[in-house]
Amino acid sequence: MYNSGNSSKNVTGASIVDGTVETVDIADDAVTADKLANSVNTDIATGVTASTTAGDALPKAGGAMTGAITTNSTFDGRDVATDGAALDVLDLAINSTANAAAITIDANENVGIGVTPNAWSGSYTALDMGDAFGGGIAVRNAASSPQSQAWVTSNTYRSNDSTTDTSGWTAKAGHLCAALGIGLQGGSALKFMTSGWTAAGAVVSFTEKVTMDGDGIKFNGDTAAANALDDYEEGTWTPAYTATSLVATYSTQIGTYTKVGNLVTLNCNISPNAITTAGTGKLTITGLPFTAASTASGKSSASISHSYAWASNPPAAGRILANSTTFEMAKATGTSTFTQGADLGAGALLFFTISYRV
C-alpha cells in the first residue's frame, strides 16, 4: 500500500476483519465511520464494531454513560477517591444510626438537628436542636424594623412576626418556655422572658423578667428610664481627718464602698497613731469616693458602731450634707454639737457605715 507522491490517486490496502483479509479502498477524500471502525476494531475488544456510527459515540458536550468509570488520576484536578471519602464522612454526619434524618433543612432554609425545624415566621431563619423540648436560635432577616434581631429559645418558636416582643410565640411541647432576645422591638438591646406551663402548640404567654437597654437594667416589664439599674461598682477610698491646723499620721485608714445605681454605701475604719499638731474647729473626715446628690435626698446619717480612746467627747453620730464629699461628726456631750479637732487623740478608733445618694 504505497502512493508514490500522487495524492490525487486512490490507494488500496489490506484490512483484517474477523480473521479475513479484505481489500479496502482508502481514498484521501473518502474516510467513513465504517472504515475508521475497521481500523480500530483490532485494538478494542468490545463496544466498537463495523456497524458503529458517529451518532452512537458519546458527544464531547457530555451524555449518559451506562458503565462504571474508574481512574488512577484526577477529573478536572479533583482526586475522586479523596473527595468520595469526604462525602462519606458528610453522609454519616447528616444521616446517623440514631436518627435517619439527623439534619433537616426545610423549604424556608430553617435547619433542624435531631428534629424537624419548627414553623418559624417567614421573617426568621432558624436552627432548632434537641428533642421535642429542645431549643433554637433564630435571626430575623426582614427588611422592616428591627432588621437586626436574634432569639435564643427554649421549647418555643415564633410562629408570626408580632410587633411586640412577648407576642407571636408557640409552645413546642407541653412545658415551661423561655426566650432570650437581642436587638428587639422598641430599641431594647437584650430581653429575657419566661412563661408558665404551656400546652404543646398553644400560644405562649410570656412575661418580661429582665430588659437591658440604653438606660440600664430594668425588671418585670418596666420601661421607665428612672427605674433602670445603670451602675454597680465596688472599691476603696482613703479616709482622713481634717480640722484647722491639724497634722496627724495614721496606723489605720481603711475605706470601702459599694455603689448600686445611685446609692452608695461606705464603710470606714480610721485611727491616727500620732497627732503632731492638734486641730481646732470642727473635725471632719474627707476622701469620700462620690459627691452626695445636690438635692435633699443626698443628705444622709451614719451608723457609728465604734468610737474609742478619744481625747474627749467621742462622736456619737455623723452625716453627709447634700452636694458634699465630707463626713461630719456630732458628739453626745460638750458645749459644741459637732466633734472638734481638740477631741481627737492619738490611738482614737472610729468605725462607721453610711449610705447616701449621688
Q: Identify the burial level of 5 via C-beta atoms within 10 angstroms of its C-beta, where 0-12 means exposed, 13-18 middle and 19 or more buried.
A: exposed
Q: Does position 285 have pLDDT exceeding 80, yes or no? A: yes
Predicted confidence band of residue 340 (pLDDT cuts 50, 70, 90): very high
Q: What is the pLDDT of residue 37?
A: 56
Q: Among 73-77, 267-271, 346-350, which stretch is predicted with the lowest mean pLDDT? A: 73-77
More confident residue, 148 or 355: 355
Q: Grid cell 469620700 — which residue?
A: 288
| CA distances to 63, 109, 178, 201, 202 from 116, in Å | 38, 12, 20, 15, 18
% the chain with pLDDT above 90: 44
Average pLDDT value for the chain: 80
In 10 A of CB 27, how many CB atoms? 12
| CA distances to 79, 104, 129 from 90, in Å | 17, 14, 19
Predicted confidence band of residue 87 (pLDDT cuts 50, 70, 90): low
Predicted confidence band of residue 55 (pLDDT cuts 50, 70, 90): low
Dist CA 313 CA 344 (whole Å) = 9
Question: What would the pLDDT profile of 37-52 be if each residue is shown by its tens digit?
Answer: 555 544 444 444 555 5
Predicted confidence band of residue 1 (pLDDT cuts 50, 70, 90): very low
* Sheet of 216-219, strand order: 103-105, 111-113, 124-129, 135-140, 149-154, 178-182, 190-194, 207-213, 216-219
Question: CA angle at residue 303 from 301 to 304, to 5 degrees?
Answer: 120
Q: What is the pLDDT of residue 91?
A: 55
Q: What are the residue ranges spanned by the domains of the chain?
A: 11-56, 103-227, 234-357
The predicted model gives 109-132 an average pLDDT of: 87
pTM: 0.63
Q: What is the pLDDT of residue 88?
A: 62
Predicted confidence band of residue 164 (pLDDT cuts 50, 70, 90): confident
Question: What would the pLDDT profile of 96-108 be if each residue is shown by its tens digit?
Answer: 555 556 788 888 8
φ/ψ of 93, rounded to 5, equals: -70, -35
Q: Does position 336 have pLDDT exceeding 70, yes or no? A: no
Q: What is the pLDDT of residue 332?
A: 77
Q: Which of 16-25, 63-72, 291-300 has the highest mean pLDDT?
A: 291-300
